[in-house]
Chain A
Amino acid sequence: MDFSLSENQLLLQEQVGKAVRCLVPMERLRRAGQEGDRFAADVWEGFCDLGIPGLLVPERYGGHGLGLLDAVVVAEELGRCATPCAFLGSVVAAPIALIEAGSPEQQATLLPEIALGTLRVGIAVSEPLAGARHDARIHVRNGLLTGRSLFAVDVAGAHRLLVADHAGGLFLVDTLARGLTMQYLETVDCTRQAFEIVFDEVPADPLPGAGPPVLERLGDTLRLALAADILGASGHMLREAVAYAGTRQQFGRPIGSFQAVKHLCADAAAELEPGRALLWYAAHAFDLALQDSHVCALHAKAYLSEAGRVVARNAVEVHGGIGITDELGLHYWFKRINWSAQLYGGPTALREQAWLAQASLEQSR
Chain B
Amino acid sequence: MDLSYSGEHESFRREVQNFLAENARAIPKHFGVNRPTAEAVAWQRLLIERGYVARGVPRRYGGAECPPDIMRAQILGEEFARARAPLGLVNQGISMFVPTLLEWGTEAQKQDWIARTIRGELIWCQGYSEPGAGSDLASLRTFAVEDGNDFIINGQKIWTTTAHAADMMFALVRTELEAKNRYRGITYICLSMQTPGIEVRPLRTMTGAAEFNEVFLTDVRVPKHQVIGARGDGWRVSNSTLKHERGMLGDPHAALARIRNLLGLMADETVDGVSAIELPVWRDRAMRLQGRALAMKYHAMRLLTAAHKGEDLVLPRLIVKLQATELNHQIAALAVDVMGEMGLLYNDAAHSRAGGLWQKRLMFDLGMIIGGGTAQIQRNIIAERGLGLPREPKMAKL
**Cβ-defined contact, B390 with A246, below 8 A:** yes
Distance from A304 Cβ to chain B, minimum over Cβ atoms (Å): 9
* Alpha-carbon separation in the docked complex, A266 to B295 (Å): 17
**Cβ-defined contact, A1 with B319, below 8 A:** no
Question: Cβ of A253: which chain B residues have Cβ within 8 Å of it?
Answer: 390, 393
* Alpha-carbon separation in the docked complex, A284 to B298 (Å): 12
* Alpha-carbon separation in the docked complex, A277 to B316 (Å): 10
Question: Cβ of A269: which chain B residues have Cβ within 8 Å of it?
Answer: 315, 319, 382, 386-387
Question: Cβ of B322: which chain A residues have Cβ within 8 Å of it?
Answer: 266, 270
**Cβ-defined contact, B379 with A262, below 8 A:** yes
CB-defined interface of A250-290 with B at 8 Å, one 1/0 digit per residue? Answer: 00011011110111011101100111111011001000000
A301: nearest chain-B partner, CB-CB: B291
**Cβ-defined contact, A275 with B305, below 8 A:** no
Distance from A256 Cβ to chain B, minimum over Cβ atoms (Å): 4
* Alpha-carbon separation in the docked complex, A263 to B377 (Å): 10
Question: Cβ of B315: which chain A residues have Cβ within 8 Å of it?
Answer: 269, 273
**Cβ-defined contact, A278 with B291, below 8 A:** yes
**Cβ-defined contact, B298 with A3, below 8 A:** yes
Within 366-398 of B, Cβ neighbours of A (below 8 Å) are at 376, 378-380, 382-384, 386-393
* Alpha-carbon separation in the docked complex, A337 to B393 (Å): 35
**Cβ-defined contact, A263 with B291, below 8 A:** no
The residue that A246 contacts in the complex, of B283, B295, B319, B389, with Cβ under 8 A, is: B389
Is B181 engaged at the interface, CB distance under 8 Å to the other chain? no
Is A351 engaged at the interface, CB distance under 8 Å to the other chain? yes
Give the number of chain B interface residues (Cβ < 8 Å).
47
The residue that A278 contacts in the complex, of B4, B298, B388, B392, with Cβ under 8 A, is: B298
**Cβ-defined contact, B383 with A265, below 8 A:** yes
A241: nearest chain-B partner, CB-CB: B387
* Alpha-carbon separation in the docked complex, A6 to B309 (Å): 13
Known contacts A242-B389, A273-B315, A278-B294; A5 and B1 CB within 8 A of each other: yes
CB-defined interface of A63-74 with B at 8 Å, one 1/0 digit per residue? Answer: 000000100000
Distance from A53 Cβ to chain B, minimum over Cβ atoms (Å): 24
* Alpha-carbon separation in the docked complex, A99 to B316 (Å): 36
* Alpha-carbon separation in the docked complex, A283 to B149 (Å): 63
**Cβ-defined contact, B283 with A259, below 8 A:** no
The residue that A242 contacts in the complex, of B294, B304, B309, B388, with Cβ under 8 A, is: B388
Within 315-335 of B, Cβ neighbours of A (below 8 Å) are at 315-316, 319, 322-323
**Cβ-defined contact, B295 with A274, below 8 A:** yes
Give the number of chain A interface residues (Cβ < 8 Å).
43
Distance from A360 Cβ to chain B, minimum over Cβ atoms (Å): 14
B300: nearest chain-A partner, CB-CB: A277
* Alpha-carbon separation in the docked complex, A320 to B138 (Å): 34
**Cβ-defined contact, A352 with B387, below 8 A:** no
Is B284 engaged at the interface, CB distance under 8 Å to the other chain? yes
Question: Cβ of B29: which chain A residues have Cβ within 8 Å of it?
Answer: none
**Cβ-defined contact, A351 with B287, below 8 A:** yes
Is A348 engaged at the interface, CB distance under 8 Å to the other chain? yes
Interface of A is mostly: helix
Known contacts A259-B376, A277-B298, A278-B291; A265 and B3 CB within 8 A of each other: no
Distance from B166 Cβ to chain A, minimum over Cβ atoms (Å): 34
Is A299 engaged at the interface, CB distance under 8 Å to the other chain? yes
**Cβ-defined contact, A2 with B305, below 8 A:** yes
B309: nearest chain-A partner, CB-CB: A4
**Cβ-defined contact, B284 with A281, below 8 A:** no
Distance from B334 Cβ to chain A, minimum over Cβ atoms (Å): 14
The residue that B1 contacts in the complex, of A4, A263, A355, with Cβ under 8 A, is: A4
Is B354 engaged at the interface, CB distance under 8 Å to the other chain? no
**Cβ-defined contact, B299 with A277, below 8 A:** yes
Q: Chain B CB within 10 Å — which of A257, A296, A348 has the most?
A: A257
A304: nearest chain-B partner, CB-CB: B295
Within 250-299 of B, Cβ neighbours of A (below 8 Å) are at 280, 283-284, 287-288, 290-292, 294-296, 298-299
**Cβ-defined contact, B387 with A265, below 8 A:** yes
**Cβ-defined contact, B384 with A270, below 8 A:** no
* Alpha-carbon separation in the docked complex, A281 to B252 (Å): 15
**Cβ-defined contact, A354 with B5, below 8 A:** no
Question: Cβ of A242: which chain B residues have Cβ within 8 Å of it?
Answer: 387-389
11 further A-B contacts with Cβ under 8 Å, apart from A269-B386, A278-B295, are: A1-B301, A3-B1, A4-B302, A257-B390, A259-B392, A262-B379, A274-B323, A299-B287, A299-B291, A303-B291, A355-B287
Which A residues have a C-beta under 8 Å from some C-beta of B? 1-6, 69, 242, 245-246, 253-254, 256-259, 261-263, 265-267, 269-270, 273-278, 280-281, 284, 296, 299, 302-303, 347-348, 351-352, 354-355
Which B residues have a C-beta under 8 Å from some C-beta of A? 1-5, 9, 71, 74, 280, 283-284, 287-288, 290-292, 294-296, 298-299, 301-302, 304-306, 309, 315-316, 319, 322-323, 376, 378-380, 382-384, 386-393
Closest 5 CB pairs of A and B: A262-B383, A274-B295, A277-B298, A266-B379, A351-B287
Instruction: Offer 19 A-B interface pairs, CB within 8 angstroms, sorted by A.
Output: A3-B298, A4-B309, A6-B1, A69-B1, A245-B389, A254-B390, A258-B392, A259-B380, A259-B392, A262-B389, A266-B322, A266-B383, A266-B387, A269-B315, A274-B323, A276-B299, A277-B298, A299-B295, A348-B284
